[in-house]
Amino acid sequence: MSAGALGLPFAVDLARLADPEFLIGSVGVIAGVYALFALGLQLNVGYTGIINFGQAGFMAVGVYAMGILVTTAGLSFWLALPAAIAIAMAFGVLVGLSALRLRADYLAIATIAAAEIVGIVARNARALTGGNQGLACNPDGVCFDDAWLSIEDTALGWLEGLGWEDPIALLPLFVAVWVTAALVALALTRLQRTPWGRVLRAIREDEDAARALGKNTFAYKLQSLAISAGIAALAGFFLALNINTISPADFEPLFTFIGYGVLVLGGLASYWGVLAGAGLMWFVIEGTRQIDLPFSPEQQASLRYVVAGLILIALMAWRPQGLFGKREEMLLGD
């Protein structure tokens, strides 16, 4: 039943919102990508106090490195994956060596500038990246996602063998991205309880005090930025596997800004809140596609983000610490 049938001035495809194919294919996979992406931001912003606006750039470096290593260097996917994560982390260190010496607002500008540089290079280094056409396969027909497609076909065949007729095509990717996000959230939660994690919190609250206790705060912030870059690269791999290509248009600053929306929605200093925030955020953004309004397609596309923005505004008024954040975390620095 639609909302139009109930006499409302617009129509909503309620059945579509509960369709497993919609929840897994349209919402679940991208929400999982954003969950991974925002986990790195949570480490930077929620626990270290680093305003990192260059996360999409780190994401792009990692996924392009993986694609180039597979299609150009001939490396196997399983070797290219950790190598690309290491390259993204090294790039995070390189950016951090200069950016982390700046004040918070200038740090934000420096990181977003680094992300823009990555995008410009990706568009113009056509021999390596494919430019605006994107990177998928080399002239010999070797594609960066061949290994994953083989795994996906095996998993779907296994499900069909168990009696599941016509399983959802993106189900293996959905499971992989959410299991990875949960494992990363668990690892970060455990890491936060170590002496290393407690130093990060001390830096967030009062860097001068942490430095007075003999802690090399610059080194700790550099490590936080590098780990965040590695997590962003991992999110980029799943995004590329979902769309079957690596294109600079997919790593625009908007990706980072939506990641911050997920962060605010889930709650600062809450890794598990990030996972819930990502699911809710993308359900709202994709769910508004199912509302039939008397607007042009362009206006309806914009409306998706207007609705998400209004939810964030209402949340900040009602629960500024986010859905799963703790109010005392916001008061620690007062």
The whole-number pLDDT of residue 307 equals 78
251: tokens are 């790593």
Q: Tens digits of per-residue pLDDT, 119-143?
A: 999 999 999 999 999 999 998 999 9
pTM of the model: 0.91
62 vs 75: CA distance, rounded Å? 15
CA separation for the pair 238, 180 (Å, rounded):
10
Is the confidence at residue 3, as pLDDT, over 90? no
Question: Which residue did the predictor score with more confidence, 295 or 76?
Answer: 76
Residues 6+ apart with CB under 8 A from 330: 268, 320, 321
Calculate what percentage of the chain has a pLDDT beyond 70: 92
DSSP output for 47-94: TT------HHHHHHHHHHHHHHHHHTS---HHHHHHHHHHHHHHHHHH
- Could you tell me which of 65, 127, 53 has the C-alpha nearest to residue 90? 65
Tens digits of per-residue pLDDT, 310-333? 877 887 788 888 888 777 666 555
290 or 108: which leads in pLDDT: 108
Q: What angle do CA 232, 263, 284 make, to 5 degrees?
A: 100
Exposed e or buried b per residue across 145-160, where buried means at least 16 C-beta atoms within 10 angstroms of its C-beta = beebeeebeebbeebe
- What's the token pair of residue 220? 């700790």
Each residue's pLDDT tens digit, 174-229:
999 999 999 999 999 999 999 999 999 999 999 999 999 999 999 999 999 999 99
Output phi, psi for 309, to 5 deg: -65, -40
Bridge partners, residue 106, by sequence: none
Cα–Cα dist 186/180, whole Å: 10
Q: How confident is the model at residue 167 (pLDDT cuts 50, 70, 90)?
A: confident
**Identity of the residue numbered 225:** L
Residue pLDDT, tens place only, 259-316: 999 998 999 889 999 999 999 989 888 887 777 766 777 777 777 778 778 877 887 7
Take residue 238 and report the two structure tokens written for it: 């799943």
Q: Is the torsion defined by CA of 131, 133, 136, 140 positive or negative?
A: negative
Calpha distance 165→152 (Å, rounded): 16
Rounded (to 5) percent helix, strand, coil in the chain:
75, 5, 20
The DSSP 8-state label assigned to residue 320 in this structure reads: T
CA separation for the pair 285, 25 (Å, rounded): 14
Is the Cβ–Cβ distance between 180 and 34 less than 8 Å? no
The pLDDT of residue 170 is 92
Q: What is the pLDDT of residue 7?
A: 47
Give CA–CA dist 240/235, Å, rounded: 9
The answer to whether 232 touches 65, Cβ cutoff 8 Å, is no
DSSP per residue, 90-112? HHHHHHHHHHTTS-HHHHHHHHH
**Mean pLDDT across 33-62:** 96
Cα 153 from Cα 267, distance rounded (Å):
37
Query: Over the chain, what is the mean pLDDT?
Result: 89
